[in-house]
Amino acid sequence: MSAIHELQPHALWQHFSAICDIPHPSFHEEQIREHLIGFAKEHNLEWQSDAVGNVIIRKNATPGMENRVGVIFQGHMDMVPQKNNDTVHDFPTDPIKAYIDGDWVTAEGTTLGADNGIGMAAALAVLAAKDLHHGPIEALFTATEETGMIGAQGLQSGILDGKILLNLDTEDEGELYIGCAGGTRIEVNGEYATETLVDNFVSVFHHTN
């Protein structure tokens, strides 16, 4: 069994492994934000953060590609913190223990945070790459997506120059979104009758049918 950071493509999994080590549940995104800003500084990339905690990192076009349409990679910083009942884990402080189980990368007793850690890792791998030819790139890492899309809602209009946005936040392999430029949240109020829980699932299923 090889460690996560040894998987291929190497750069992608190295960044993902590093992200797993940094606690980043929703509303506790300071450390991951610092990690992204530190990455930008280390790679001499222009960066900015805004009032709602989004981070944007910019990478110039490679020589000869300056006139290409700019591409934006978008992902979010936070993850859903869920754990098994018998797992002791404090999401704001403890790293995710990712491991390889057959064909899968998973985590010991908790959510892995592949949503959207792998999206962030993909963007960072491109930003760090020295062997790619590309036009201007902007990576937008939005804050607190899982609980209200706070970063996306608070993003200042006109802050991005790119015209093509690649949303890196989907986890269904083999499916391609041709458009998801927005989202909505609907609050529904209603009443329902309760019934006593019976002792196994099959009988509940038959009962309600």
Residues assigned a catalytic role: 78, 145
- Given 115, 135, 136, 152, the residue binding Zn ion (CB under 5 A): 115
Q: Please, are residues 112 and 11 in contact by the beta-carbon 8 Å criterion?
A: no
- Does residue 50 belong to the site contacting Zn ion (CB under 5 A)? no
Between CA 190 and CA 7 the distance in angstroms is 49
Between CA 2 and CA 4 the distance in angstroms is 7
Q: Are strands 137-142 and 71-76 parallel, antiparallel or unpaired?
A: parallel
Phi first, then psi: give them for residue 59, nearest 5 degrees: -130, 130
- Does residue 169 belong to the site contacting Zn ion (CB under 5 A)? yes
- Does residue 116 belong to the site contacting Zn ion (CB under 5 A)? yes
CB closer to Zn ion out of 28 and 134: 28
Between CA 108 and CA 123 the distance in angstroms is 25
Question: Residue 100 Cβ, how far from Zn ion at the closest point, in Å?
Answer: 22
Where does this chain touch Zn ion (CB under 5 A) — which range of 5-13, 17-25, 107-115, 195-203? 107-115
Query: Residues 129-168 vs Zn ion: string with x where CB under 5 A?
Result: ----------------------------------------
Q: Please, are residues 134 and 68 in contact by the beta-carbon 8 Å criterion?
A: yes
- Does residue 29 belong to the site contacting Zn ion (CB under 5 A)? no
Question: Which residues in this chain contact Zn ion in the complex, by CB under 5 A?
Answer: 115-116, 169
